[in-house]
Structure 1
C-alpha cells in the first residue's frame, strides 16, 4: 500500500527527528524529506512533491509567512504549522492561517501528557489534510476581503441570536463572513476550535479590521446587537438568562466531542434557554462532527439553520455530518451566507 508523504521543516534536528517518529508511528505515513530552513524546504518540495508539509513558525533565513505566500501559489499543499502557545507564537500562527496554512499543532511543553497530545493532534490533522479543499478554494486576500462594499437597506431581524460553529479553516471563513456583518445584526456567538491565547488574539485582530465589535467572551456579558462573542480557548461558551436579559455563560466543564470550546455546547445552551425558535444556527468548515447533533436539536426547536457547502469548505466534515443528519435548512457557499442570513432574518 502506498504511503502518504510528508516533509518536515524545522531548524532543530532533534525536533525534526521527534516529528518524524510521530508521523512514522502510523504505517500509512512516510517522511520523505527534512529541511532546516525554507530554502532547503523549497528544493525538497520541487524534488519530492510531498502531499503535506509541517513547518515551524519560527524559521531562520526567511520569514515563515513570506515563505508560505511565495510557496503556496506555485505548489499548493496542506501546511501544518508547529506553534508555541505564547502570544507571539499565536500571532504568527494566525498570520500563517491567513497566508494559506491548513492548520496548526501547538508545541508540547515537555510533559508526557503534552507530548502524547501533540502527537495525536498532528496525526489527526495529517488525516484531515487529505480532505483539504485547496484546489477549489480561492479566498480573496485580506485587503480584498476587507475592502468597503456597497451596503443595501438595513435588515430588520426578527431572529434575536446568531450562533456559529467552526473548526479547520474557520479563521478565514469567519473573517469573510463577518466582513459583511453590520451593527444591525443580532448578537453573534461563535465556538471556534482554538486554544487559549489564540482566541484572544483572533478576536482582537477581527475587532481591529471589521466594522462590528468583536471580542473574546467573558462570563455574564449582556448580549448586544452588532457584537460578536468568541468562545475563549479551553472554555465552553453558552447563553444564560438573568431576569429578562440574555447573557454569555463561560464554562469549563468536560470536553465534548473532544473539544473545549465545543459547538454542541453552544447550540445546546440555546436549546436549554428555549431560544432556538428565535435564532439562526450556522455550521462552517471543520473536521469531525461537533455541532451537528446540536444543530439538529436547534432546528427541531424552530431554529433556521445554515451549513457551508462542500465547494467552499476547507474541510467538508462538520457541515457534511450536519447535512446528512437533516440538521441543515439551507446549504450555501461561504460568500452567499450573509445574503442568506438577511433573506431569512425576518422569518
Structure 2
C-alpha cells in the first residue's frame, strides 16, 4: 500500500520525501523532513494513527490525511484522529490493492493537494462556549430550519456547532458534510451523543420536527421533499454529482428554499471548492439568513470564500461565534 500510494502521488507531481512503516516512524519523519502534508493509515503497528496524529499536531502541526478502510472500527478511529487534528480522510478500497488504488489515483492526488492547503491546528475536544445565563431566559419563536454545509476540515467544526445549539431553539437541522458512505452513519451517532438534538443519518422519506437533525447519507443527495406545519420530509436521490460531489450542499439548500415556507438559516463551514454558493444564493433570495465561517478559523477557506463572493452572506464570523449567530437569526423574546 505504501509503495502504491507513493507511486500514485509521485506520478501526480507530488514529491514523496519519506515513507514510514508505523506511527512512531511517521512522527520522526515529520520532524526530520518537515513535509507539507502527511498521508497516514488509521491502523499501524507500534503506534496507531490516533496517537501519531496527536503527537505530530502537538510537536509540529502538519496537515494530515488519514487513510481509512470501510469498516465501523476504522470509521470510529478515523473520527478520533480528526478530533486530534487530522484534516480529512480518504477511504482505502478493498480487493486488489494496486488495481483499486490506481483507479482512484486522480481522486487521491486531488485530496492530498487540498489537505496540503489546510491550516493545521492541534486537536481540541473542548466544546464551544455559549452564554447559558442568557439562553435560559430566552424564548425562541418561529419554526426555523438550519441547513449546514461543510467539507474538508468539517466534521469537528460541525460537531462544535451542534454541541452549542440549545434544543429550546426548536431548530430542524439538515447537515451536508462531504463524506463517503459508511461514515455518515457513525458521524450522525457522534453528533447525536454530543448535542441536545436527536441526530440520525438521513433515510429516504425521513421526517424531522423541532429538536431533530439529519445528516445527508454518503453518496446520496438529500432534498427537502415536503414541509408542512413545522414537519420536514427529505428524499434521497442518486442524481449525478453537483460540483463534483454527492451529497451536495447546493442540492439541499436549493430544495429547502423551494419547499420550506418558514424561516431558513444557511451556514457554510470550512471546505474545498464552491459547493454551497448557489445554495446560499437561493436561501437569500427566499428571505433566509446566511452565515459563513471566517478565513482565520477555517481549515480550508474555499467554500466560505465562494459563498461570501456571492454577496448573499449576512454574517462572516469565527467557528466559535457561529452558534450565537444562528441563535441571533431566530426571532426571540427575552424575559
With the length of structure 1 as denominator, give the TM-score of the two structures: 0.88
- The answer to whether residue 264 in structure 2 is matched with residue 282 in structure 1 is no
How far residue 214 of structure 1 moved from its aligned partner, in angstroms, is 1.2
How far residue 170 of structure 1 moved from its aligned partner, in angstroms, is 0.9
CA separation of 1:223 and 1:18: change in aligned 2, threshold 3 A: same
- The answer to whether residue 319 in structure 2 is matched with residue 337 in structure 1 is no
Return the match for 1:128 from 114, 118, 122: 114
Q: Which moved more, 1:36-45 or 1:194-203?
A: 36-45
Return the match for 2:155 from 165, 171, 179: 171
1:127-276 equivalence runs, <5 A:
127-134=113-120, 137=121, 141-142=124-125, 144-145=126-127, 150-151=132-133, 152=135, 153-158=137-142, 160-185=144-169, 186-241=171-226, 245-273=231-259, 275=261
Return the match for 1:327 from 307, 312, 315: 312
Return the match for 2:23 from 27, 30, 38: 38
Distance in 2 (CA, whole Å) between partners of 1:66 and 1:78 is 15
Q: Which moved more, 1:280-289 or 1:124-133?
A: 124-133
Deviating 4+ runs (over 6 angstroms): 146-149
With the length of structure 2 as denominator, give the TM-score of the two structures: 0.91
Instruction: After superposition, give the CA deviation of every residue in 1:245-302 in whole Å (9 maximum; x if it has no partner).
Output: 4312222221111111110110111122154x62011111100001111111211121
Contact in 2 for aligned 1:107/1:118 (Cα 8 Å): no
CA separation of 1:117 and 1:305: change in aligned 2, threshold 3 A: farther
Distance in 1 (CA, whole Å) between partners of 2:53 and 2:130 is 27
How far residue 147 of structure 1 moved from its aligned partner, in angstroms, is 8.2
Distance in 1 (CA, whole Å) between partners of 2:56 and 2:227 is 52
Contact in 2 for aligned 1:16/1:34 (Cα 8 Å): yes
Note the residue ranges of structure 2 that are not aligned, 5 or more in a row: none
Distance in 2 (CA, whole Å) between partners of 1:158 and 1:147 is 24
Number of aligned positions between the proteins: 327
- The answer to whether residue 101 in structure 2 is matched with residue 115 in structure 1 is yes
How far residue 336 of structure 1 moved from its aligned partner, in angstroms, is 0.6
CA separation of 1:260 and 1:116: change in aligned 2, threshold 3 A: farther
